[in-house]
């Protein structure tokens, strides 16, 4: 765990959007740091009844020199659209 904002920690939601139109909205429920990478627990912000999924970001992905890590949107994959992705800022993965 890095920084915890002091006052006004009014749980601002972290939402990632994929490149589909209209974009899917993936809500970050939690993250778990492991020796091999970071596990993100993501739910569908527009359909909270759908069980959250786990998306694994490997240490190798974190080491690549980009600002964001791109992961396939599982809501798109469910619909057979594998090419759509959402960006996760690396600052969210530390
Ligand atoms: Zn999507």
Task: Give, in degrees to the nearest 5, the angle at Cα 49 between 77 and 58.
Answer: 45
Å from CA of 6 to ligand 1 middle: 33
Å from CA of 60 to ligand 1 middle: 24
Number of neighbouring beta carbons within 10 Å of residue 38: 21
Å from CA of 59 to ligand 1 middle: 24
User: What CA dihedral angle connects 65, 77, 46 and 59, to 10 degrees?
Assistant: -30
Percent of the chain clearing pLDDT 70 (strictly above): 88
Task: Give the residue with greater pLDDT, 82 vs 55.
Answer: 55
Number of neighbouring beta carbons within 10 Å of residue 83: 10
Nearest to 58 by CA among 78, 91, 33, 92: 33
pLDDT at residue 5, as a whole number: 44
Say yes or no to pLDDT of 59 above 60.
yes
Å from CA of 64 to ligand 1 middle: 23
């Amino acid at each position: 765990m890095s920084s915890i904002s002091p006052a006004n920690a009014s749980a601002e939601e972290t939402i990632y959007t994929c490149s589909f139109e209209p974009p899917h909205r993936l809500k970050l429920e939690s993250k778990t740091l492991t020796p091999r990478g970071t596990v993100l627990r993501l739910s569908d912000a527009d359909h909270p009844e759908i069980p959250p999924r786990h998306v694994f970001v490997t240490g190798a992905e974190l080491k690549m020199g980009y600002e964001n890590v791109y992961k396939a949107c599982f809501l798109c994959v469910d619909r057979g659209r594998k090419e759509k992705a959402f960006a996760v800022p690396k600052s969210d993965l530390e």
